[in-house]
Structures are given as C-alpha cells and as structure tokens.
Amino acid sequence: MSTCASLPDASSSVLLCPHGPRLTLQSPLPVSPGSAWPSPLLDTRHPFTPSDAQRQLATFFDALFAAHGPQRWWPGRTRFEIIAGAILVQNTAWTNAARAIANLRAASLLTPSAIEKVSPARLARLIRPSGYFRQKARKLKAFARFLRESHRGSLARMFRTPTAQLREQLLQVHGIGPETADSILLYAGNHPVFVVDAYTRRILLRHGLAHGKESYETVRGLFEQSLPNDPRLFNEYHALIVHTGKHHCRNRAPVCSTCALRPFLPQPVEGSR
C-alpha cells in the first residue's frame, strides 16, 4: 500500500496522490463566504472553522483509504445495472438489492427498454427481494420512460448533459431523490457529485463537523467545496464512508476503538467500544 502522507496545512490545496486516491494538501482551497459554506461551520459557537473542516475531510479520507484501500464501487456490470441498483437499494441492504438485480439479469430485463416493456406485476415479482417492490417497479419504469422521452433512450446521451442540468432532470423523475440522483450521476455517469447518506451525517455529527440537522444540499456542499472536483475521489470517499458506517460507526454501540477515524474523535461517543 502506498504511503502518501497528508499535510494538513492551512496553506494547501488538495491533490490526488499518484500512488492512489490519497489527499495531500498543498495550496489554499477556495472558500467563498456566505453560500459556499454550511451554516454550522460558520457558527461561532461551533469549534470548527471552514478551513478546519477542509483539513478534517481530507485527513479523514487519507486515514480511511490507508486503513481500507480501494473499495471498487459500484458493483454493477453496466451503467443501467448501477442505476437499477441505486433505485433498488433504497430503504434496504445491498444484499437484498443484489438479489433483485440477479433476478432481473436472469430474466434478461436489465435494459431500459426491457423494463419499459415488462408488465408491472412481473417486474414487481422479480424485484420482491429488495422490498417496497411495487413502488420500486414503478420507479424503474419511470426512469426508463424518462430516458426514452428526454434522451431518446440513450444513457450516453443522458450522461453528456451538464451535471447540474441532469441532476435537476433526475430529481423530477418519480422515486428519485437526491441520494439516488447523486448515486446515478457519480457511479453510473462519472459526474463529480458527492453522495450523502445517513452514515455520512452520523460521522460528521460525531466528529463535531455538523449539528445533524443540515439539509442534504448543505452536507453535499460541504464535501464538494472542501475537496477537489474529482469523481474518482468522490467515488472512493463515499464508498469508504459506507464501509466505516457498516463496520464501525453504527447507530448504537459504535466500534471506535478499531476505527480509522478514532484519532480524530473530539470526545468519546456514548456507548462506544
């Protein structure tokens, strides 16, 4: 494993380490006051300043990558499979979504046109392992219809749309919220957006970088404005956060003692081991 050390210096910018997606701070990151930073970080009662948060997020990434290495996300064979997975994993564990995807693959339904043609009842039956299967069948069909109507059925054409514009379009599709839209943009389209989930919020909260009531957009902005605008970095970082959330930063009884972020914990978490 490579050994790129981060230099958490206030006069630095963030670069991708040539040995891997490590962060090294070497010159100032732009910090635009006002809208650029989420309010908790500008709150004078809060212990962190924006530049503290920038350094913290870069340092967290270094520590997580050093501990766990590349996560090789997203586990999908095609872009449409990744999109289907982003919808099917809503409100369930990945293992359940994976079973639904396996059923769709076995039925040769992992294409947008096949999803549009199959009957809603059959589609729902096939994706039953993912839970909320009738709603998710509607969502998959809604995405396939959107793709045909707005992008002539072409994912390549869809992903050529500028990031902000495509994000707005995706958010208009039935069943696609911010986390799903950003997962599609990042993992299927390689667009530079940061995916925020419950694990992200929990880690920020426990490390004093957020109050816990910030909007999705605020947390996304924190990451995107603190880090280089690089989809490879956002890809790896979110995957490492999910790994940490699953194995260490659990809701109850977090396992801080063996967590790579333990050295940066401002105070012990209640009930932690």
**Contact status, residue 95 vs residue 109, Cβ threshold 8 Å:** no
Q: Which of residues 213-232 bind ligand SF4 (CB under 6 A)?
A: none
Return the half-sphere exposure (C-beta side, CA atoms, 13 A cut-off) of residue 108.
1
Task: Please identify which residue in 125, 211, 232, 262 interacts with ligand SF4, judged by CB under 6 A.
Answer: 262
**Contact status, residue 22 vs residue 16, Cβ threshold 8 Å:** yes
Q: Does 66 bind ligand SF4 (CB under 6 A)?
A: no
Task: Please identify which residue in 90, 168, 259, 273 interacts with ligand SF4, judged by CB under 6 A.
Answer: 259
Q: Does 261 bind ligand SF4 (CB under 6 A)?
A: yes
Q: Does 36 bind ligand SF4 (CB under 6 A)?
A: no
CB nearer to ligand SF4: pick between 4 and 249: 249
Task: Please identify which residue in 204, 265, 266, 271 interacts with ligand SF4, judged by CB under 6 A.
Answer: 265
Least distance CB 60 / ligand SF4 (angstroms): 8
Number of residues counted as binding ligand SF4 (CB under 6 A) = 15
Least distance CB 187 / ligand SF4 (angstroms): 23
CB nearer to ligand SF4: pick between 120 and 212: 212
Least distance CB 246 / ligand SF4 (angstroms): 11
| C-beta atoms surrounding 142 within 10 Å | 17
Q: Which of residues 155-184 bind ligand SF4 (CB under 6 A)?
A: none
- Residues contributing to the site for ligand SF4 (CB under 6 A): 203, 206-207, 244, 248-249, 254-256, 259, 261-262, 265, 269, 272
